[in-house]
Amino acid sequence: MQQTTTNQLTLTLPDDWHLHLRDGEMLTETVAATARCFARAIVMPNLVPPVVNAEMAAAYKARINEAIPANLAHSFTPLMTIYLTNQTTPQDILAAKAAGVTAAKLYPAGATTNSDAAVSQIDRLFPVFEAMTNADMPLLIHGEVTDSHIDIFDREKVFIDTILNKIVSHFSQLRIVLEHITTEDAVEFVKAQDNHVAATITPQHLLLNRNDLLVGGVRPHNYCLPVLKRNTHQQALREVVASGNSKFFLGTDSAPHEKYRKENACGCAGCYSAWSAIELYAQVFEELGVIEKLEAFASFYGADFYQLPRNTQTITLVKESWQVPEEIILPNGNPIVPFYAGKTLSWKLQSK
């Protein structure tokens, strides 16, 4: 159980229930950054090409396992997902479940990075959702519509109203995670559902609002999808994590891109928060005056929803001011800018 003193915080080893590790050489950086403070992570499948079946998930998991640092090889487990497309079949779900795939991810086509192959006709997936319900495989949802006439700041709300309500009403026993929620509308929707519906919340949406993206010039390293919202929505997210509601849990949505890909005319969406993830959440919970509630949010609620055992190891954070680096150099020599670069955090993880 969590133990807190003035200068030290010990909590059950947490998990990241929404993570992008990417692929190739970048895995050396991203896997190590995650494994330093998380026991398990739900790994997103939006690679090129996307991970659409059990065989591809197994191959990707093998690549991830190869990148785990030797000293952490027995303390980090990637939990794999498959990417739903218009061509996904119930048989694909059954095969993935049998192969140990944890969940399936629904991206509306064009919603985020590498989502062009994603779903354009939700109703066509109803047989797939039925198979997932029967197999008790969670559905993970990027909850935004992509219609060009819908304002980008309204896309989460419209998705909930027009699509998510339909899925939940048709499949009341399907376990659903509404990923990286950003609005008060999403908070209220999840709170109103039974325990089959939950949500993940990122550090960037707790720490920032759209002023941090747009005021004083566009800040590309704060650009993510769903995009940062107004401060009233940020406050709703902060209030629900402070409340200790068990339907909301940690999911960083850490999504790295090389610096040159972020700082260009059509900069990529995503914040690389894995590098200081647990420290960022500790900062939020301390600001909210509920540091004692961090452990359940980070270590218990997600495991319980996924019906996995809670971790038994612990990590310790110490009260120590430190600065997030301005850049990290990848194995290929290119820099990447971590989320909150150059800013000071007040908690620091001791080595595992």
Backbone angles phi, psi at 75, to 5 degrees: -125, 10
The question of whether 253 is a catalytic residue gets the answer: yes
**pLDDT at position 113:** 60
* Helix (H/G/I), strand (E/B), else coil: 61: helix
Beta bridge pairs of residue 12: 314
Cα-based angle 268, 269, 272 (whole degrees, multiple of 5): 105
User: What DSSP designation does 109 have?
Assistant: T
- Neighbour-count burial of 19, counting CB atoms closer than 10 A to its CB (0-12 exposed, 13-18 middle, 19+ buried): buried
On whether the CB atoms of residues 228 and 208 are closer than 8 A, the answer is yes
Q: Does the structure show a pLDDT above 80 at 40?
A: yes
Range of lowest pLDDT (113-122, 167-176, 201-210, 261-270): 113-122
Q: Looking at mean pLDDT, say which of 18-22, 86-90, 114-118 comes out highest.
A: 18-22
d(CA 251, CA 133) in angstroms, rounded, equals 23
**Long-range contact pairs involving 262-267 (C-beta distance under 8 Å, separation at least 24):** 262/220, 262/221, 262/223, 262/337, 263/220, 267/220, 267/223
Neighbours of 261 (CB within 10 A): 16
Q: What is the mean pLDDT of residues 265-290?
A: 96
User: Minimal CA–CA distance to 18: which of 190, 178, 194, 242?
Assistant: 178
> Confidence class of residue 106 from pLDDT cuts 50, 70 and 90?
very high
Residue 213, both tokens: 């993206």
Q: What is the pTM of this model?
A: 0.96
Domain boundaries, the chain: 14-312
User: What DSSP designation does 345 have?
Assistant: E
The CATH superfamily of 14-312 is Metal-dependent hydrolases (3.20.20.140)
B/e letters for 293-316, b = 16+ CB within 10 Å, e = fewer, are bbbbbbbbbbbebbeeeebeeebe
Q: What is the pLDDT of residues 297-351, one digit of tens each?
A: 999 999 999 999 999 999 999 999 999 999 999 999 999 999 999 999 999 999 7
d(CA 112, CA 106) in angstroms, rounded, equals 11
Q: Does the structure show a pLDDT above 80 at 232?
A: yes
Please identify which of the residues 16, 92, 185, 253 carries the catalytic annotation: 253
